[in-house]
Structure 1
Amino acid sequence: YLRHPITDAVTEGLNSKIQTIKSNARGFRSFENYRIRILFFCGKLDLYPL
């Protein structure tokens, strides 16, 4: 950090959110449902698509 003032805080935060989703998603039978849940909660999927 002293040489290059860059941290991986954003990546760690996103990983933490995904791990929380993963722990709540136990029992999903398909990877696609798990993927959609991650995209929805991480802000890449609209609640009401056109």
Structure 2
Amino acid sequence: VWVNRSDLAPMRKVGGLIQRHLENILTFCRHRITNGVAEGLNSKIMAIKRKACGYRNREHFKTAIYFFCGGLNLYPASS
């Protein structure tokens, strides 16, 4: 590729970046989906973990994840 022969270091850097991620770029172009939702959920789980400073056991941690990430409507229905 011409960019690899460029005298400009930033262009070579971008060319290498595209080469390393080419399969993921093509997958996005074919399917038009990203892992953004999964990354967002993972970020939320890590925030729960940081705020808690440790849970007594895994079950309490799982319960907290379900509570904060489950999208449950915990408010009573109004008539």
Per-residue deviation at 1:40? 0.2
Aligned residue number for residue 41 of structure 2: 14
1:27 aligns with 2:54: yes
Q: Which has the higher helix share?
A: 2
Per-residue deviation at 1:37? 0.3
Q: TM-score, normalised by structure 2?
A: 0.51
Structure 2 residues not aligned, in runs of 5+? 1-27
Q: Quick check: which has more Rg, 1 or 2?
A: 2
Deviation string for 1:4-49 (max 9, x for gaps)? 311011101100100100111223211111110000000265648x
Q: TM-score, normalised by structure 1?
A: 0.74
Structure 1 residues not aligned, in runs of 5+? none
Percent same amino acid at aligned positions? 54
RMSD: 1.9
Number of residues of Structure 1 aligned to a counterpart in Structure 2: 48
Amino acid of the structure 1 residue aligned with 2:63? I
**Which structure has the higher relative contact order (CA within 8 Å, separation 6+)?**
1
